[in-house]
Amino acid sequence: MTIADRRQDHMCRSGRMAPVGKKSGPVLRSDPRMPLTMPSAPFAQSPLPMGLDPDIGAHLEDMSVVLKSSLHRQTAARHWQLINRIIAYAASAEQHISEQQQRIRELEALSSTDELTGLANRRGLIEFANRLLATARRHQEQGVLCYLDLNDFKKINDAFGHETGDRALCLLAETIRKNLRSSDFVARIGGDEFIFILTHTNTENGRLRAAIIEREITAADLAARDRKIRLSVSIGVTGYDGKTTLDDLLRRADEDMYHNKHGRKKPAGQD
């Protein structure tokens, strides 16, 4: 090898020139100090490291896309879980409120209902009558209020017991109820006293209806200790036209009932 050949070979080895027959240019060498780790920023926003194999870079870019897609799915799944929990909570709250409202309605009904007969009690009467009289005032309507009292109720209890007395009260309640229309009203206001209201009628028709109820009660069968008990009632009748109050109606009907009772009713007991 000549001196010129040795100089050319030295320059080729040192990288200052290309071998004969090849294009000259800088020789790229991979830096062994360069880490082959994933950059912190997305690959779409950062260039590939110098000297990184293009196949490896493409693979890492695919991994970045998959990772971002997975993160999006996880975020969407958490959002749906939160929405489902909110919907479930709202449904539970709505159910609880509905149950509470139903319970309130039941308690209100119990507070205005007579436990023994299932009729309205005094409170139920007051609520119904106030609405009725307000409507009567607006529309100039008329009707009849009747005050019914069971004669000698104490004697029935003393002679036959309170269970028989309760049966007598229930018989009265059922007899009155079946003789009323759907627009009419009946209440037990205490002890052996009942109030029934006939709407859209006059006093004459009210007295006729009261007489029918009285006859049916007298003819009813009530027995205790192998004895037949004859029941009798007294009924007072008064009309309303919306210009009077409930207290006035009760007072007038009570006075009429007392006059009907006085001196003409047989004591209740054995026939």
Domain harbouring 171, CATH code:
3.30.70.270
In a domain, 2, yes or no: no
Q: What integer best gives the mean pLDDT of the chain? A: 81
In a domain, 79, yes or no: no
Split at pLDDT 50, 70, 90, the class of 43 is very low
Q: How far apart are CA 147 and CA 196, in angstroms?
A: 7
Q: How far apart are CA 223 and CA 233, in angstroms?
A: 17
pLDDT of residue 229: 93
pLDDT of residue 186: 98
Residue 135 has pLDDT above 80, yes or no: yes
pLDDT of residue 98: 83
Q: How many helices (H) and strands (E) does the chain have?
A: 7, 7
pLDDT in tens, 210-257: 999 999 999 998 999 889 999 999 999 999 998 899 999 999 999 999
In a domain, 177, yes or no: yes
In a domain, 28, yes or no: no
Structural domain total, the chain: 1
Residue 47 has pLDDT above 60, yes or no: no
**What whole-number percentage of the chain has pLDDT above 90?**
52
In a domain, 78, yes or no: no
In a domain, 47, yes or no: no
Residue 269 has pLDDT above 50, yes or no: no
In a domain, 181, yes or no: yes
Q: How far apart are CA 264 and CA 266, in angstroms?
A: 7
223 CB-near residues (< 8 Å, 6+ apart): 229
Residues designated catalytic: 192
Nearest alpha carbon to residue 120 among 185, 57, 71? 185
**If you search the block for the tokens 């229309």, which residue do you land on?**
181
In a domain, 63, yes or no: no
Structural domain for 177, as ranges: 122-270
**Residue 72, token pair as written in the block:** 């999006």
pLDDT of residue 33: 53
H or E stretch covering 146: strand 143-150
- Higher-scoring residue by pLDDT: 61, 80: 80
Among 60-64, 94-98, 167-171, the range scoring the smallest mean pLDDT is 60-64
pLDDT in tens, 172-220: 999 999 999 999 999 999 999 999 999 999 999 999 999 999 999 999 9
H or E stretch covering 194: strand 193-199
pLDDT of residue 81: 84
Mean pLDDT within 14-40: 50
Mean pLDDT within 154-166: 95
Q: What angle do CA 162, 171, 211 make, to 5 degrees?
A: 125
Split at pLDDT 50, 70, 90, the class of 271 is very low
Split at pLDDT 50, 70, 90, the class of 137 is very high
pLDDT of residue 142: 96
